[in-house]
Amino acid sequence: MSTYVPALIWLLSGFVCLYIAKRRNVRPTTLWAMLVAVIGPLAIPLVFAAKPEKLKQG
């Protein structure tokens, strides 16, 4: 059971990263998704550093 804990943390951090990105209007690209999959929990601070996408008015 303890061997699955790192994989579970990795998976949950990916979902948290996606959730934070959507809340901050950061557009998830293919490169961004691959980066999150590779670096796992370390991607969460990178989402906060990403520039939010400007909303178009009108």
Domain annotation covers residue 56: no
Whether the pLDDT of residue 58 is over 60: the answer is: no
Residue 31's pLDDT band (boundaries 50, 70, 90)?
Answer: confident
Mean pLDDT of 16-26: 86
| Residue bearing the bigger pLDDT, 28 or 8 | 8
Domain annotation covers residue 54: no
Which pairs count as long-range contacts for 15-20, CB under 8 Å and 24+ apart, including other chains? 16/44, 17/43, 17/44, 17/47, 20/44, 20/47, 20/48
Domain annotation covers residue 26: yes
How high is the pLDDT of residue 46? Answer: 82
Domain annotation covers residue 58: no
| Structural domain count, the chain | 1
CB 25 within 8 A of CB 55: yes
Domain annotation covers residue 55: no
